[in-house]
């Protein structure tokens, strides 16, 4: 049969009509100005990040009809530069026999000039479509587009109808790549004994798949299910990036509802096994989940993630929308760690310099007051020789508690504190001689990059007023400098 059978045109047209009729009802209070977010309704995982025919495509888990989670569609945005994004028509809606209750997460590839989406279809046993319902079945499916806008589901879906016999119901989030002329996909899963793992399959044509191996598993330490696995080579190493479910807090680690992190090592295609080191979180903030990577036009490995977290307050839901993506980050492998830095293209957002402050910096010194909480902060300071100082920046956002990011030299600890219950996230990075912070603030979000990617912290915040940015410094002052750029909105 043709790939053009079983089209979802009518269902996506219904969703597009709803968006047109309701987008003006969304309140702007916490809307972001240079991040991908839904025009209306609910967003979670980024899907299908890909460079195709000269443009970047970002798909995402989407429910247009409410700011609460619902049956998953695929939303869609397109960009020429990974910075300025425009909404595109809804790419997929649930409703076929393979995805009756949701078109769940997956990936996209350029298959000889056709944009091909590989995604999880979900069917709930009792028809009760709600998050965290455990009575479901999951299969892997294919949809294809000639123009990158309009997609048709493959008539013979599912292309991978079932997991191995020892698998639980968890079998989702396919990420596809090509190696030596053959397609490979890694899929998140768990065994019937709740052992998390990543499954590897291969195919010649994206339609008939062969099970290859368990690429890696949790060994009883890394959760009971791995969502959104992603596998790629980076600076001579192989990386498995994923979001484990079911990890308990351990010291300063794993304090989000769910985590996102990676294993770095060496992969053997003959055995299908990844020899790897210890699991590490890739971002230390509150709101970073379900990350996905792709190759930019020049070969850089780029990452984006959902900038929210399950089962946490989302005040924007009262305004008719929820969810956003992080800014794109470039990845590198350094000394066994995956480091993230903002892509250079973000500099195209820069407007005027609104602060250019040199040493000495004093505690509570006002550095800038950006309008609309939209700015880029470059902070650089020598760590005082006394070894006991706390340095960094704070934001007065008109709430009961300032938002602050600091380095405590006595503890060797980086801390983001956004106030409120469960407001602190911290990471013991060890002794630093210099603290360089690259911070992006966008109305209700804050993304902090430390010392060229040594650590990153991504968190949402909900200001009552425009922010005032201040220095955190010892009483003796701080040898440092700060430059703040106003940023232009991407839309």
Quickly name the fold that domain 9-342 has: Tachylectin-2; Chain A (2.115.10)
Asked if 5 contacts 95 with a C-beta cutoff of 8 angstroms, the reply is no
Q: What is the pLDDT of residue 10?
A: 72
Please report how many Cα atoms fall inside a 13 Å half-sphere around the Cα of residue 71, on the Cβ side. 20
Q: Structure pTM? A: 0.97
31 SS3 class:
coil
Question: Residue 137 belongs to what H/E stretch?
Answer: strand 136-145
Cα separation, 193 vs 200, in Å, equals 19
Handedness of CA 122, 128, 134, 136 (dihedral sign): negative
Segments of the chain assigned to CATH 2.60.120.560? 350-487
Other beta carbons within 10 angstroms of residue 313's beta carbon come to 13
Cα separation, 416 vs 403, in Å, equals 8
Q: Are strands 321-322 and 41-52 parallel, antiparallel or unpaired?
A: parallel
**Nearest 10 degrees: Cα torsion 397, 403, 406, 411:** 150
Q: What is the pLDDT of residue 491?
A: 76
For residue 414, what are the β-bridge partners? 407, 427
Cα separation, 88 vs 57, in Å, equals 9
Cα separation, 21 vs 41, in Å, equals 12
Exactly one of 11, 16, 24, 45 is catalytic; name it: 45
Q: What is the pLDDT of residue 9?
A: 60
Q: Are strands 337-342 and 329-334 parallel, antiparallel or unpaired?
A: antiparallel
Segments of the chain assigned to CATH 2.115.10.20? 9-342
Burial class (CB in 10 A: 0-12, 13-18, 19+), 249: exposed
Q: What is the pLDDT of residue 2?
A: 40
Omega cis (within 30) before 174: no
Q: What is the pLDDT of residue 6?
A: 43
Would you say domain 350-487 falls under CATH 2.60.120.560?
A: yes
111 catalytic residue (yes or no):
no
Q: Over the stretch 458-483, which tens digit does the pLDDT of each residue have? A: 999 999 999 999 999 999 999 999 99
Contacts of 387 (CB under 8 A, 6+ apart): 409, 410
Beta strands in 326-387 (DSSP E): 329-334, 337-342, 350-357, 366-368, 374-382
Q: What is the pLDDT of residue 102?
A: 96
Q: What is the pLDDT of residue 371?
A: 85
Q: What is the pLDDT of residue 423?
A: 97
Cα separation, 404 vs 419, in Å, equals 9
String of DSSP letters for 164-230: -TTEEEEEEEEEEEEETTEEEEEEEEEETT--EEEEEEEESSSSSEEEEEEEEE-TTTS-SEEEEEE
| pLDDT under 70: residue ranges of the chain | 1-9
SS3 letters across 271-315: CCEEEECCCEECCCCCCCEEEEEEECCCCCEEEEEECCCCCCCCH
């Amino acid at each position: 049969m043709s790939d053009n059978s079983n089209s979802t045109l009518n269902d996506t047209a219904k969703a597009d009509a709803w968006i047109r009729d309701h987008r003006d009802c969304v309140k702007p209070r916490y809307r972001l100005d240079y991040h991908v977010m839904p025009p209306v309704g609910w967003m979670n995982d980024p899907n299908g990040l890909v460079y195709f025919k000269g443009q970047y495509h970002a798909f995402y888990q989407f429910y247009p009809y409410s700011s609460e989670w619902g049956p998953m569609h695929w939303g869609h945005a397109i960009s020429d530069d990974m910075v300025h994004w425009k909404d595109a028509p809804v790419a997929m809606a649930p409703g076929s026999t393979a995805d009756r209750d949701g078109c769940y997460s997956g990936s996209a590839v350029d298959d000889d000039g056709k944009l091909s989406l590989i995604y999880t279809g979900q069917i709930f046993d009792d028809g009760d479509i709600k998050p965290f319902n455990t009575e479901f079945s999951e299969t892997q499916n294919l949809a294809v587009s000639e123009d990158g806008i309009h997609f048709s589901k493959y008539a013979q879906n599912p292309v991978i109808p079932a997991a191995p016999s020892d698998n639980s119901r968890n079998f989702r989030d396919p990420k596809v790549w090509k190696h030596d002329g053959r397609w490979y996909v890694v899929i998140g899963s768990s065994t019937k004994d709740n052992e998390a793992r990543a499954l590897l399959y291969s195919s010649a044509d994206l339609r008939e798949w062969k099970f290859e191996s368990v690429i890696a598993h949790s060994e009883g330490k890394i959760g009971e299910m791995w969502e959104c696995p992603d596998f790629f080579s980076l600076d001579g190493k192989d990386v498995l990036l994923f979001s484990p479910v079911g990890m308990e807090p351990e010291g300063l680690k794993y304090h989000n509802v769910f985590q996102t992190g990676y294993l770095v090592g060496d992969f053997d295609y003959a055995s299908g096994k990844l020899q790897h080191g210890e699991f590490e979180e890739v971002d230390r903030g509150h709101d970073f989940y379900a990350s996905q990577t792709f190759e930019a036009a020049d070969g850089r490995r780029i990452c984006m993630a959902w900038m929210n977290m399950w089962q946490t307050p989302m005040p924007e839901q009262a305004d008719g929308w929820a969810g956003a993506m992080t800014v794109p980050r470039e990845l590198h492998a350094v000394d066994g760690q995956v480091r993230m830095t903002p892509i250079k293209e973000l500099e195209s957002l820069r407007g005027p310099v609104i602060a250019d402050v040199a040493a000495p910096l004093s505690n509570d010194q006002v550095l800038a007051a950006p309008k609309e909480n939209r700015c880029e902060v470059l902070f650089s300071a020598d760590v005082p020789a006394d070894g006991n100082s706390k340095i960094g920046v704070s934001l007065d956002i008109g709430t009961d508690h300032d938002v602050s990011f600091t380095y405590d030299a006595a503890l060797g600890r980086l801390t983001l504190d956004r106030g409120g219950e469960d407001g602190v996230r911290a990471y013991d990075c060890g002794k630093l001689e210099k603290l360089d912070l690259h911070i992006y603030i966008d109305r209700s979000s804050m993304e902090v990059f430390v010392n060229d990617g040594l650590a990153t912290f991504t968190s949402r915040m909900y200001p009552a007023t425009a922010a005032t940015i201040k220095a955190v410094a010892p009483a003796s002052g701080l040898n440092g400098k700060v430059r703040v750029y106003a940023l232009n909105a991407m839309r």
